Amino acid sequence: MKLRVKVKTESGKEANDMNYPKIGIRPTIDGRWGGVRESLEQQTMNMARAAAKLISDNLRYADGTPVQCVIADSTIGGGNEAGACAEKFLRENVIGSLTVTPCWCYGSETMDLTTNTVKAVWGFNGTERPGAVYLAAVLAAHAQRGLPAFGIYGRDVQDAGDTSVPCDVQEKILRFARAAIAVGQMKNKAYVGIGSVSMGIAGSFLDHDFMQKYLGLRSEWVDMTEILRRIDLGIFDPDEFNKALAWTKEFCKEGFDPNIEEKRFTPEQKAEQWEFVVKMTLICKDILLGNPNLANLGFHEEALGRNAIAGGFQGQRMWTDYKPNGDFTEAIINSTFDWNGNRQPTIFATENDGLNGVSMLFTHLMDGAASIFADVRTYWSPDAVERVTGWKPEGKAKDGFIHLINSGAAALDGSGGTKDENGESIMKPWWDMTDKDAKACLDKTQWCPGNNGYFRGGGFSSKWETEGEMPVTMLRLNLIDGLGPVMQIAEGYTVDLPSEVNHTLLYRTDPTWPSTWFAPVLTGKGAFTDAYSVMANWGANHGAFCYGHKGADIITLCAMLRIPVSMHNVCESRIFRPHAWSAFGTEDKENADYRACKTYGPLYG
C-alpha cells in the first residue's frame, strides 16, 4: 500500500484548476499627500505582506494546498482606491478581507463596504501614528453600516520599525482567516443526501432553507435506488473496483460474527457482500464528487457528480432490511486514506443526519483531518462504573464520561492508531498521513458482520476502540423552531479505560461498533457542571468529534455564519467574535451572541 501526498481533489482537479476562496489584504493609509502618506507607504505595505505570509505559511485549504492571499494593488487612502480594491477582490474570489494599517486613515472612505466578504481589521499598536484610533473609528463605522468586522489589536506597544507580527495578533489573524476560508469553501457547493429520513431522526430532514441561507449550500437528494442502478448497469470504474477489492481483502480484516449460527450468512454470501459494499463505496463517492473516468466508459452525466462538499446516506431501514449496510462505505469515505493512498476525506453522514454532517464539515474545513460521527449514547457516572466493574474511575475519567458509539460506521482515524513522535495517539490532517499511520488504523479495525437484528441485509461494521487520551472537541448543530440553528460545543478528552473495564462496559451495548469514551472538560457551572449535565443538555442523539480543542475556531466560524452557540466550555480568552457583538452586552456574552446573530441574520439570507 503506497500513500502519496497529492495536491489534488477527489474529482481529479489539480490545484491550479480551481478558483479558491482567498483572503484579501487591504493596506489602508492616511491619504494626505505631501509627506504623511509617503512616509507610511513602506510600513503599511510591509504589514500587508507580513499578514499574507503568515496566512499562507500556516493555513491550508481542506484539499491540502496553501491558502492564497491577494493584496490590493496599492495602499488605500480613499474611496477611489477602495473601489479598485473591491473590484480586484471580486475577480479574485476573495471571501474574507483583512484591513491592515499602522496609522490614522479616513474610516468610511477606506473601509470594506462590500457585502460578499467577512471582514477583519488589524490596527498596529504603536505610538508614532494612531493605528488604534483608526481601528476604533472604522469598527464603529462597520457597526453603524451593519457590516460587522473582527477587531485585531496587539496587547503590547510596538516600535514603528518593528515588522514582526506579535503572537496574540497572529492567533487572531489565523483564527479569522481559518474560519473565513471555511465559509468560502462551502459557498456554492452542495450537500447531497442519498435516501431520505432515517428512522424518523429529525436531523435527516434536509432543510434546504438553512443550507442555502446560512451556509451557501445547495441541497440535493438522490434516491438510494441510484446505487442499485449503477451496480446493475456497471456504472463504476472497473479498474478502480479491482484495485479497491484487492486492497480491502489485504488490509480490512473480517471480525467476529455476533449473530447466532442459524442467522449467519455463508462465506459465499459474505464474499458477495464484500464486493457489493466496495462497489457501493465507489458509487457513493462518484455521486457526490463525480469521476472523469466514467466519461471514458460512456457515462457522461454520471461523470459530472453533484458538486458536493458533503453528503449522507439513509441506510436504515428501507435499505438495510434488504441490502448490505453502508457502514464500510461511510467509514472509508470519511477516513483520510483508502486504496488510492492518503486523500482528503469526504464528509458522509450516517443515517443521512445532515445537521451532524454539517458539524463534521465545519471542523474538517478548518483542519483537513477526519471527523468522527457518533451516537451520544450513555453517561457513565463514577458510581455506576464502580458498581458494574469494581473499578473506581481515575484520571480524566474520575468525574464520569460519555459513551460515543455509532451504529457501525466511523472514520478509522478515530481509533487512535496514528501516533506522534512521542507515541501519543493523534488524528492527523490527511496530507500528513503515512503508510505507517494508515496501516496502524487498519490494524486496529475489525470489520464484523452486521448485527442481523439491525441489518437484515448484511454488511460489515467497523469495530474499533479509541486508544489513548486525545484532546478532542465534540459538537452538534441543531435547528430550533422559532429560533433557527444553534451550535453546541464540548471540549474534552478521549479516555483509555483498563482493558477489562472497557470490555465489561462495551459488551453491554453492541461490541461490533466503533467506540469512544469521552470526558468533557468541566467548568462547574451550567451545562458543564458535570459530565451528566453535558449529556442532559445535548440537543440530539448524534454528535461529531474532531482532534484537538477547536472550540474557539468553531465559535468564530459560527459568528461569521450568524449561528449562536448555546453551550460551550471554551476559555473566555480564546473566544474571538466580531467587535460589534460587544454592543449587545459584555457581561452575558451567550445572550449577546444570540441577539447579535438575530440582528444581522444569516450570511446569505
> Residues 501-542: pLDDT tens digits?
999 999 999 999 999 999 999 999 999 999 999 999 999 999
DSSP code of residue 254: B
* Beta-strand runs (E) in 104-256: 118-123, 149-153, 190-194, 218-222
* Res. 18 pLDDT band, cuts 50 70 90: low
Residue whose entry in the numeric block shows the C-alpha cell 494599517: 101
Residue 47 reports pLDDT greater than 50: yes
Report CA torsion sign: 130, 131, 134, 136. negative
Predicted local distance difference test score (pLDDT) of residue 12? 44
CA-based nearest residue to 308, from 326, 287, 294, 337 = 287
Residue 4 reports pLDDT greater than 70: no
Residue 275 reports pLDDT greater than 70: yes
Alpha carbons 225 and 66: distance in angstroms, whole number: 39
Residue whose entry in the numeric block shows the C-alpha cell 462590500: 114
Residue 40's alpha-carbon distances to 137, 360, 501, in angstroms, are: 19, 44, 66
Q: What is the mean pLDDT of residues 285-298?
A: 97
> Residues 322-370: pLDDT tens digits?
999 999 999 999 999 999 999 999 999 999 999 999 999 999 999 999 9
For residue 192, report the phi and psi dihedrals to the nearest 5 degrees.
-110, 115
Average pLDDT of the chain, as a whole number: 95
Residue 14 reports pLDDT greater than 80: no
Predicted local distance difference test score (pLDDT) of residue 397? 97
Q: What is the mean pLDDT of residues 374-388?
A: 98
- Cis bond upstream, residue 317 (ω within 30): yes
Residue 1 reports pLDDT greater than 90: no
Q: Is 371 helix (H, G, I), strand (E, B) or coil?
A: coil
First and final C-alpha spacing in the chain: 47
Pairing of strands 484-494, 471-480: antiparallel
For residue 477, report the phi and psi dihedrals to the nearest 5 degrees.
-95, 130
Identity (one letter) of the amino acid at 106? Answer: Y
Residue 205 reports pLDDT greater than 60: yes
* Res. 6 pLDDT band, cuts 50 70 90: very low
Alpha carbons 470 and 496: distance in angstroms, whole number: 9
Residue 108's alpha-carbon distances to 126, 292, 400, in angstroms, are: 22, 48, 54
Considering the chain, what percentage of its residues have pLDDT values greater than 70?
97
Predicted local distance difference test score (pLDDT) of residue 7? 39
Q: What is the mean pLDDT of residues 241-252?
A: 98
DSSP code of residue 259: S
List active site positions: 351, 375
Predicted local distance difference test score (pLDDT) of residue 589? 96
Contacts of 435 (CB under 8 A, 6+ apart): 1, 2, 3
> Residues 64-112: pLDDT tens digits?
999 999 999 999 999 999 999 999 999 999 999 999 999 999 999 999 9
Find out whether 176 and 137 touch, Cβ atoms under 8 Å. no
Residue 440's alpha-carbon distances to 185, 256, 414, in angstroms, are: 31, 20, 11
For 471, the enclosing helix (H) or strand (E) is strand 471-480
Of 6-15, 30-39, 268-277, 548-557, where does mean pLDDT reach its minimum? 6-15
How many DSSP H helices and E strands does the chain contain?
A: 19, 20
Please, what are the domains in the chain? 22-186 (3.40.50.1070), 190-600 (3.20.14.10)
* Res. 10 pLDDT band, cuts 50 70 90: very low
Considering the chain, what percentage of its residues have pLDDT values greater than 90?
92
